[in-house]
């Protein structure tokens, strides 16, 4: 394989929502590129452990850390466990996301708040924690926010999701 394939060799990455779907695919590609990983999950521990196992099959270190990105109180613990496990982090990939299907006029405030918390507010404050840790260590790093095509192409019945992902894109 060309050397460029290994340009991420030994980088340490936290990928939120990496127990399934797009997040899992991102994490596994990063492992294939040579990254050590923190696999974040909210409730799908089986999926997270599967992602860890697959990442390890590429010869990488990987751990699973349970944390709900929508719960501000869990963000500091996620960051702490990530830094302890890998020694530091080079990248944060804000991928976790949730949707609630409802007509615009039927969206409940609690559902709106939970979607915004996971898709926009949590990633904002997790990025802030990450940036502050790197600043304190005089270390550089990168933050990648995974948004959605539905920022520009509204998805019927998912207004809170579209709003939150648009906010994340602006961040």
Catalytic residue numbers?
161
Q: In terms of Cα–Cα distance, which of 160, 17, 163 is closest to 78? A: 17
Distance CA 102, CA 114 (A): 14
Residue 35 near residue 61, CB atoms below 8 Å: no
Quickly list DSSP for 32-50.
HTT-EEEEEESS-HHHHHH
- Beta-carbon-side half-sphere exposure of residue 29 (alpha carbons within 13 Å): 8
Residue 92 near residue 141, CB atoms below 8 Å: yes
Q: What angle do CA 144, 148, 152 make, to 5 degrees?
A: 125
């Amino acid at each position: 394989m060309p050397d460029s394939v290994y340009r991420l060799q030994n980088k340490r990455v936290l990928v939120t929502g990496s127990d399934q779907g797009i997040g899992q695919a991102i994490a596994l590609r990063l492992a294939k590129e040579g990254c050590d990983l923190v696999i974040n999950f909210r409730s799908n521990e089986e999926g997270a452990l599967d992602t860890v196992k697959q990442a390890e099959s590429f010869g990488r270190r990987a751990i699973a850390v349970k944390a709900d990105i929508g719960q501000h109180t869990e963000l500091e613990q996620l960051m702490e466990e990530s830094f302890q496990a890998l020694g530091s982090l080079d990248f944060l990939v804000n991928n976790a996301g949730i949707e609630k299907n409802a007509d615009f006029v039927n969206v409940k405030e609690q559902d709106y708040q939970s979607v915004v918390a996971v898709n926009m507010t949590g990633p904002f404050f997790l990025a802030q924690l990450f940036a502050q840790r790197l600043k304190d260590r005089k270390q550089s790093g990168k933050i990648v926010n995974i948004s959605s095509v539905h920022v520009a192409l509204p998805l019927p019945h998912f207004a809170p999701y579209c709003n939150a992902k648009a906010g994340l894109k602006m961040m």
